[in-house]
Amino acid sequence: MTNILLVTSSPRGAESLSTRFATEIAEGLKVRLGGTLLTRDLAANPPPYIAQAYINGRVAAPEARTPEQINAVGLAQQLVEEVKAANVIVLGSGMINFGPSSQLKSWFDHITWPGVTFDYSEAGGPQGLLTGKKVYLVTAAGGVFSEGHYAPFDFQTGYLRHLLGFIGLTDIEIVRVEGTVFGPEAAKAAIAATEAQVRAVLEKAA
């Protein structure tokens, strides 16, 4: 059975193109592959910023944790288990000031956990532990960042690929929607291009 985890993070609500296309991919995969679909909406239910209770609690023995630490670590454990249980992860990210939203960054801060989602090899290098999963990364930006003048300022896509790979999620397919701020016709063309990408993804997965 295929377990699909959909993670959306844009604060734009129904207007979010990253959420729209990530949802289309996740729901399309469920139709084609069967199984389950779990949605984690980080904009509607943002994880808190990590604080001392989480930092100290995750290295403390379970029986020694304070109530505050239990709550902080418990949330991280829940988020990690959702990722572990998934065969396929669909992640939607809208660019905020050249990078991902703070909600999505906080999610990664919770699931990037030494000894749980990554470790260090005998040679000393990092080794991701969440292997064998497929990731569809849907990124949205008003400008064009995949090429041209603004490509060096895309601190969203490369950063997310690095974080995913760091915890073992290296099988990543990227779907972009970009160039929507240059007028109605440009937005229409950008959306049509992304719709074509989504169809291709689903046809390949069928």
Per the annotation, binding residues are 10, 16-18
Q: How far apart, in whole angstroms, are the C-alpha atoms of residue 58 and residue 61?
A: 8
What does the block give as tokens for 151? 């490509």
- As a whole number of angstroms, the distance between CA 9 and CA 13 comes to 9
Task: Collect all residues with Cβ–Cβ distance below 8 Å to 33 and sequence separation of at least 6.
Answer: 2, 4, 88, 205
Q: What are phi and psi of 42, to 5 degrees?
A: -75, -20
Amino acid identity for residue 62 in this structure: P
Annotated binding site for FMN: 10, 16-18
Spatial distance between the Cα atoms of 85 and 4, rounded to a whole number of angstroms? 9
In angstroms, rounded to a whole number, what is the distance separating the alpha carbons of residues 36 and 26?
Answer: 10
- Tokens read off for 20: 């729209």
